[in-house]
Chains A and B, each alone.
Chain A
Amino acid sequence: MPINILMPALSPTMEKGNLAKWLKKEGEAVKTGDVIAEIETDKATMEYEAVDDGVMAKIVVPEGTNDVPVNALIAVLAQEGEDPKAVAAAAVAKSPSAGAPSPQPSPPQGEGAAVPAAPPAQPSAAEARAPSAPPAPRPPSPPGGEGRGEGAPAPGPGTRIFASPLARRLAKEAGLDLARIQGTGPRGRVIARDIAAAKEGQGLKAPAAAPSAAPSPAPVAAPALVPTPSDEKIRALFEPGSYEVVPHDNMRKIIAQRLVQAKQTIPHFYLTLDCNIGKLLAAREEINAAAPKDKDGKPAWKLSVNDFVIKALAVALVRVPEANVTWTEGGMLKHKHADVGVAVAIPGGLITPIVRQADTKPLSVISNEMKDFAARARARKLKPEEYQGGTTAVSNLGMFGIKEFYAVINPPHATILSVGAGEERPIAKNGKIEVAQMMTVGLATDHRAVDGALGAQLFGVFKSLIENPVMMVV
């Protein structure tokens, strides 16, 4: 049987290499240990030694070819007693085009040299997605390579991920994406120890382009516009040992995915306003002081400034309904109520529970709902329906003393309000300097849905409400 010579992995991370030079010509005898080719990686040029005896029957990838994937068929060796010409002919028939390296695994030795082998069946993406499904028949693996496991090609979209059943189960439990784990088993198969390593942050590859390969039902990501550099490349910028790798949990992955999606698909437009919250603070004090107390002395409500902000934004959106929208390609969704998401920071990330129909709810209801949401968010006990959807959002960093900032719109919202700290500031009023309680607020809008003037109109209504909270009750 002829021996297929495959692009070797010269380092554990090598995915592609350049075929710099052939040192054996077609028809030339090759002995075990002979240097047959020079392979160039991004780091070095290395000699490729034959591991079998034979005659070079066919050079499939000509010298000077760049970026040949690891394990691609590069040449075919005829063994003793085989006609190199027949082997070469068969090799040509098998290779899709003699010049272009095939990224597919080469046909197995066992199928007969002269018969062009059928291409290995491409498993469906569904298989890759269902980790508990019984393993499909394994496509033929490339024969001939003595080295095991090192640097098998990274699975692309729709490619079956070779992983042991135990590894699949462990990955699922750990919430790890199999496609991102560098397999160290035979021919790059992901095995249990790779999952253990991945949990320590080792052996992780760049995120797979296709989220369909992810074992968890992740939301569909927008296509990446600019490819991000590989993890390897990023890590190479830092001295080994100078950092530790903390694997992403699902929340972190979803935050990253959604915010990249937001910044890549939503044209953000920003507005800023200073609001005088003197009246608001006074009203708040009065309302809180008037709260009836239960038998334990606990007041029925204790409003925060943020509760006023939620209510004001909701009322403003209902009063400027053109701004209470969601962009879709098919048409604008014009919402009848304002559902306000409120960003809650929790250990390891944040989550945005939604106060539904905040425009219709009294401040005391909003306030108590938020307290409940915040407590359950920290315990990670929110139900999906409590944090999915919404028509707008509020992010408040005032408690950290932040003066102003602009949050990223959380799809499917068209707006997000960023609330800074309330503080005493000198303001000019009627030609005089006065001291007032001021708060700077930023508004980001999705320019596809809310244009500048419309955003300004919404923001103006908000300002009037927040500066005169009594206007919220009309």
Chain B
Amino acid sequence: MADTNFDIIIIGSGPGGYVCAIRAAQLGFKTAIVERDYLGGICLNWGCIPTKALLRSAEIFHYLEHAKDYGLSAQNVSYDPSAVVKRSRAVSKRLNDGVGFLMKKNKVTVIWGEAAIDAPGKITVKPPPNPPPRAGEGRVGEAPKDALGPGAYQAKHIIVATGARPRVLPGLEPDKKLVWTYFEAMVPERIPKSLLVVGSGAIGIEFASFYRTFGTEVTVVEVLPQILPVEDAEIAAFARKSFEKQGIKILTGAKVTKLDKKADSVTATIDDGKGGTQTLTVDRVISAVGVVGNTENLGLEKLGVKIERGAIVVDGACRTNVPGIYAIGDVAGPPLLAHKAEHEGVICVEAIKGLNPHPMDRRMIPGCTYCTPQIASVGLTEQAAKDQKRDIRVGRFPFVGNGKAIALGEDQGLVKVIFDKKTGQLLGAHMVGAEVTELIQGYVIAMNLETTEEELMHTVFPHPTLSEMMKEAVLDAYGRVLNM
């Protein structure tokens, strides 16, 4: 009879949950993790990672189509959607296996099934739902061979890391066939001729970018006045211009009010927000109107765990109001990002261990969108800084002023930094352009170490790199820009 008693049980094996489990095991806790579908959660299987694989295919396709620009020739460039999807799935599978390996290596027990908390310290695991929540061919994850099954389990500390799922708006209910969520959008059988993307957050924009590269007529409808609503307005406007140049149609301040489904197409009625309406017939619709936390069916309501606006309320150490129950990641509120979940997982168990970890500073969590051009940011937008009545200095540097960018043939982009005028504190950094998702971390470190403009100006950046623009933007904020 397997031991059912643990120090820590984590519900959900997404990036938050599995990282949390590893850290717990490192700290000497007897740890188990419950999963009902896939090790690695949405991130590894249906989110961050497989979309990056898809986008990489799109990127290479784009380069091949533009081989001439680089003095090369490539004839008969084409794509095979099923092979592109296959590669993406293989990438996910590899990482999914990797999580299984990591659990084993760290002696974390995997429990396969759906968990509910009966009382602090006690959970019951039921068999995984069949069909699983996202029934579809070949989509049920496999339980690792030595996983434990349904039954009653005990743990001093229970960490809820159940993540989130696509938000459903009335009238826009996904049907898996014509109206997709990211699940279906990730495994298309063919590339649709036309596509309506509802919502212009990271998910919507990444799919818009992916499908546009493969020739789909893409229309993006955003209810707010700006696409990529969390990003700095200037960066979003820059990105919008670039998307429109690629042929993506963008409607902001607009709303999809009705979807009329035909056999293999959908006619959408769109309210343009100015009193007019238009209709648009497309092959497929992607609903990307955000995600909501998976707080249900866990027994949280019964235990009196406080939930506000779809998120479990936690303190700086991820404790809920009920002792012994913790929550991390998407289910514990925004920002809904994998790296935030991972960090919370670490903080949560370190706090349980009594190590006094620093609570996470949510102002310093970077965000990345992997469209073309890429978008990356951290900290306050210019508007947010102004709303806080901060006296600021803003610096900008365009990609056209950077040697490496020109050599790469990627001369469209912008780096923007925002400093507090009085203290020199770096309040925010915003970038659009090639590879900026790999660059942003430099500013994140600077913010976390509380550097001021002085240290950034004293730092030597290697030449020739895109990163030089990061220094130039800082210099620009202080009227000292060199290469513009």
Q: Which residues of A contact B (CB under 8 A)?
A: 32-33, 51, 132, 134-135, 146-150, 164-167, 169-170, 173, 184-186, 191-192
**Could you tell me the distance between the alpha carbons of A173 and B450 in the complex, rounded to whole angstroms?**
16
Given contacts A134-B458, A166-B423, contact A149 B358 (CB under 8 A): yes
15 contacts between A and B (CB under 8 A): A32-B27, A32-B28, A33-B28, A134-B454, A135-B455, A148-B357, A148-B358, A150-B356, A165-B451, A166-B423, A166-B425, A169-B423, A169-B452, A170-B423, A191-B450
Which A residue sits closest to B26, measured CB to CB? Answer: A32
Nearest B residue to A145 via CB reads B355
Q: Mark B449-480, 1 if CB is under 8 A from A, else 0.
A: 11110110010000000000000000000000
Assembled-state Cα–Cα distance A167/B423 (Å): 9
Interface string of B429-465 (1 = CB under 8 A from A): 0000000000000000000011110110010000000
Asked, given contacts A33-B28, A170-B423, whether A165 binds B450 with beta carbons under 8 Å apart, the answer is: yes
The residue in chain A whose Cβ has the minimal distance to the Cβ of B422 is A173
Instruction: Answer whether residue B424 sits at the interface, using C-beta atoms and an 8 A cutoff.
Output: yes
Selected contact of B452 from candidates A33, A150, A166, CB within 8 Å: A166
Give which listed residue, B27, B350, B425, B454, contacts A132 with CB less than 8 A: B454
B12-41, CB < 8 A from A: 27-28
Cβ < 8 Å to A, chain B residues 409-427 = 422-425
Q: Knowing that A32-B27, A165-B451, A186-B358 are A-B contacts, what are 5 other residue pairs whose CB atoms are under 8 Å apart, sorted by A's residue number?
A: A148-B356, A148-B358, A169-B424, A185-B358, A191-B450
Q: Which residues of the partner chain B approach A149 to less than 8 Å between Cβ atoms? A: 356, 358
Residues of B with Cβ closer than 8 Å to A?
27-28, 350, 353, 355-358, 422-425, 449-452, 454-455, 458
Closest to A164 in B: B450
Roughly how many angstroms separate A185 CA and B450 CA in the complex, as a whole number? 11
Q: Which residues of A contact B454 (CB under 8 A)?
A: 132, 134, 165
User: What is the CA–CA distance of A33 and B28 in the complex, to the nearest angstrom?
Assistant: 7
Tell me if A146 and B450 are in contact (CB < 8 A): no
Residues on A with C-beta less than 8 A from B423 are: 166, 169-170, 173
Is there an interface contact between B358 and A164, defined as CB atoms closer than 8 Å?
Answer: no
B424 and A148 within 8 A (CB): no
Q: In the complex the two chains form, what is the Cα distance from A173 to B452 in whole Å?
A: 14
Q: Write out the residue numbers on chain A whose beta carbons fall within 8 Å of the beta carbon of B455.
A: 134-135, 165
A150 to B356, CA, bound (A): 8
The one of A134, A135, A146, A191 in contact with B355, judged by C-beta atoms closer than 8 angstroms, is A146
Chain A residue nearest in CB terms to B420: A166
Contact B450 A192 (CB under 8 A): yes
Per the bound structure, the CA–CA distance linking A167 and B424 in Å amounts to 11
Q: Which residues of A contact B424 (CB under 8 A)?
A: 166, 169
Q: Which B residues are in CB contact (< 8 Å) with A132?
A: 454
The residues of A that contact B458 with a CB separation of less than 8 Å are: 134
Bound together, the chains give a CA A167 to CA B355 distance in angstroms of: 24
Q: Give the chain A neighbours of B355 by CB distance below 8 A.
A: 146-148
Min distance, Cβ B186 to any Cβ of chain A, angstroms:
39
Chain B residues lying within 8 Å of A173, measured Cβ to Cβ, are: 422-423
Enumerate chain B residues within 8 angstroms of A167, measured Cβ to Cβ.
450
Residues of A within 8 A of B356 (CB): 147-150
For residue A134, which residues in chain B have a CB less than 8 angstroms away from its CB?
A: 454-455, 458
Docked CA distance A185–B422 (Å): 23
- How far in angstroms is the closest Cβ of chain A from B410? 32
Bound-state CA distance A134–B353 (Å) is: 37
| Minimum C-beta distance from A51 to chain B (A) | 8
B residues near A135, Cβ cutoff 8 Å? 455
Contacts of B27 in A (CB 8 A): 32, 51, 146
Closest 10 CB pairs of A and B: A164-B450, A166-B450, A32-B28, A165-B452, A33-B28, A147-B355, A146-B355, A165-B451, A165-B455, A166-B425
Q: How far is the CB of A369 from chain B (nearest CB, A)?
A: 38
CB distance from B458 to the nearest CB of A (A): 5
Q: Does A164 contact B449, Cβ atoms closer than 8 Å?
A: yes
B451 touches A164 (CB 8 A): yes
> B378 CB to closest chain A CB, in angstroms?
16
Which residue among B355, B356, B424, B425 has the maximum number of chain A CB atoms within 10 Å of its CB? B356
Alpha-carbon distance between A32 and B350 when the two chains are bound, in angstroms: 14
Output the nearest chain B residue to A150 by Cβ-Cβ distance.
B356
Residues on the B chain within 8 Å of A146, using CB: 27, 350, 353, 355
A274 CB to closest chain B CB (Å) equals: 56
Which B residues are CB-close (under 8 A) to A170?
423
In this complex, what residue of B is CB-closest to A168? B452
A residues within 8 A CB of B425? 166, 192
Which of B28, B357, B358, B451 contacts A166 (CB under 8 A)?
B451
Residue picked from A166, A185, A186, most chain B C-beta under 10 Å:
A166
By a CB distance below 8 angstroms, the chain B residues around A33 are 28
Chain B residues with CB under 8 Å of A150's CB are 356
Please, which residue of chain B has its CB at the minimum distance from the CB of A32? B28
> Chain A nearest CB: distance from B103 CB in Å?
19
CA distance A191 to B422 in the complex (A): 17
**CA of A419 to CA of B451 in the docked complex: distance in angstroms?**
54
Distance in Å from the Cβ of B166 to the closest Cβ of chain A?
Answer: 37
Q: In the complex, what residues of B have CB within 8 A of residue A51's CB?
A: 27-28
**CA distance in complex: A173, B425 (Å):** 13
- With both beta carbons as reference points, the residue of chain B lying nearest to A184 in the complex is identified as B358
Which of B353, B358, B450 has most chain A Cβ within 10 Å?
B450
A165 to B423, CA, bound (A): 10
